[in-house]
Amino acid sequence: MTRWTIWRAPMLVSLASALGMGVALGTDGAGDVFSWFALSVPVVVSLAFVIRAYTKERRAQ
């Protein structure tokens, strides 16, 4: 793993989180909707990788 491959995904998730937290602060309506999607990224990524890891294991058995 290079530094780039290690940090690529965390940086994207961090960027989405920061935009999600920031944008809704200064806007209403569309900005709020954008924030819901952007700040969902860390939640969705967590669930997706955990679920993938454990369903893959079951399939392998």
Per-residue x/- marks for other proteins, 1-40, CB under 8 A?
xxx-xxxxxx--xx--xx-xx--xxxxx--xx--xx--xx
Would you state the torsion angle of the CA atoms of residues 40, 46, 51, 57, taken in this order, to the nearest 10 degrees?
A: 160
Residue 7 beta carbon to other proteins: minimum distance, rounded to whole angstroms: 7
Start-to-end CA distance of the chain, whole Å, equals 28
CB 17 within 8 A of CB 35: no
Residues that bind other proteins (CB under 8 A): 1-3, 5-10, 13-14, 17-18, 20-21, 24-28, 31-32, 35-36, 39-43, 45-46, 48-50, 52-54, 56-57
